[in-house]
Amino acid sequence: MSKDKVECHKIVIPTPDHSAPVLDPRRPPLVIHVHSQYDVHYFRRLNDKSATPRASFSSPGSIRGEVFDGFAPWSPTGPEPETLLRCPVPRAPTNADMVCDYTLYKLECAATCRSGYTFATGKTSATLSCNLFDGWSNASSFSDCLGGSGTGTTPSSGTGAVTGTSSGTITGRCISKFEECHAVGEGDFQYCNSCTSFATCAQSGFYVRGCPNNLSFDNSVKRCILKSSTCSY
């Protein structure tokens, strides 16, 4: 009885020095995968430039903490891309400060009304929670804090001049949600919904904080001042 000849193709595992970015159509375009040994590393796009990450390895299967041509290593404690899609950061309520923190599969947001304002429930604070598997545990958005004058409207985000009763006129880029952080990177930026607030983009989440003493945030100098050149009423 003769034996059939079976040809086995050699399986080649990419080495860290020859890693190549692989786009996955099932994931958002702001995420690419870099295969190194048996690990898959996630990179988060930090700007709009088209660039290829240059992976630098300190040991097989690990990446040094540095930025590669506009991309930064995805934090192992940061959100999965699917979590960003299932649990987007809500709009910050009017007359309130909001802090949102992502973990791998979960988003938690806390909003606190400013002095003199409360939610319709009479409380001054509220929380929202969402996870990749179950979605939002209660509501998916905050109601506005009431009291004082000027309910205003919610302007759109992006570039150009944005007007509204609560926001005033914003010149240049403003940020209103976490997804927009991928185009600008980490730091403090003009918040679209209020001159007296600023948005902070961080790997851990999205933060909206108010300027002290009713000052206005100036995006050109990145601080709260008496008269802003990038947002005015």
| Domain match, 61 and 167 both | no
Residue 136, pLDDT score = 93
- Same-domain check for residues 96 and 203: yes
- Looking at residue 2, its pLDDT comes to 56
Whether 145 contacts 177, CB under 8 Å: no
Q: Is position 2 within any domain?
A: no
Regarding whether 104 and 42 lie in a shared domain, the answer is no
Residue 128 is assigned to a structural domain of this protein: yes
The confidence score (pLDDT) of residue 184 equals: 84
Same-domain status, 60 and 87 = no
State whether 171 and 111 are in the same domain: yes
Q: Are 56 and 163 in the same domain? A: no
Residue 93 and residue 34 share a domain? no
Cα→Cα distances 107→14, 32, 77, 221, Å:
34, 22, 12, 30
Tell whether 4 is covered by a domain.
Answer: no
Q: 44 in a domain, yes or no?
A: yes
Between CA 127 and CA 108 the distance in angstroms is 7
Q: Which residue has the higher pLDDT, 54 or 170?
A: 170
Among 22, 53, 74, the domain-final residue is 74
Quick: pLDDT tens for 77-115: 567 788 888 888 888 888 888 888 888 888 899 999 988
Examine the pLDDT at 140 and tell me if it is beyond 50. Answer: yes
Q: Does any domain span residue 173?
A: yes
Q: Which of 229, 227, 200, 223 is nearest to 92 (CA)?
A: 200
The end-to-end CA distance of the chain, in Å, is: 92
Domain boundary among 53, 74, 95: 74
Give residue-wise pLDDT tens across range 158-205.
333 333 334 568 888 888 877 788 788 889 999 988 888 899 888 777
**Distance between CA 194 and CA 154 in Å, rounded?**
9
Alpha-carbon torsion angle 127, 114, 144, 220, nearest 10: -100
Same domain, 144 and 225: yes
Q: Residue 3 domain-assigned?
A: no
Which of 74, 95, 128 is the last residue in one of the domains? 74
Q: Is the pLDDT of residue 5 over 50?
A: yes
User: Same structural domain for residues 136 and 185?
Assistant: yes
Query: What is the residue-averaged pLDDT of the chain?
Result: 67
User: pLDDT at position 127, please?
Assistant: 94
- For residue 121, tell me if it sits in a domain: yes
Between 41 and 114, where is the model more confident? Answer: 114
Domain span holding position 146: 82-232
Q: What is the pLDDT of residue 17?
A: 39
Kindly state whether residue 195 falls inside one of the protein's structural domains.
Answer: yes
Q: Which two tokens stand for residue 48?
A: 């709009």
Give yes or no: residues 214 and 180 share one domain. yes
Highest mean pLDDT among 27-36, 100-109, 144-153: 100-109
- In contact, 42 and 74? CB cutoff 8 Å: yes
Together in a domain, 70 and 90? no
Q: pLDDT value at position 34?
A: 34
Say yes or no: 124 and 37 in one domain. no
Distance (Å, whole) CA 185 – CA 109: 21
Q: Which amino acid makes up residue 99?
A: V
Q: How many domains does the chain have?
A: 2
Looking at mean pLDDT, say which of 25-29, 37-41, 105-109, 213-217 comes out highest: 105-109
pLDDT for 221: 92
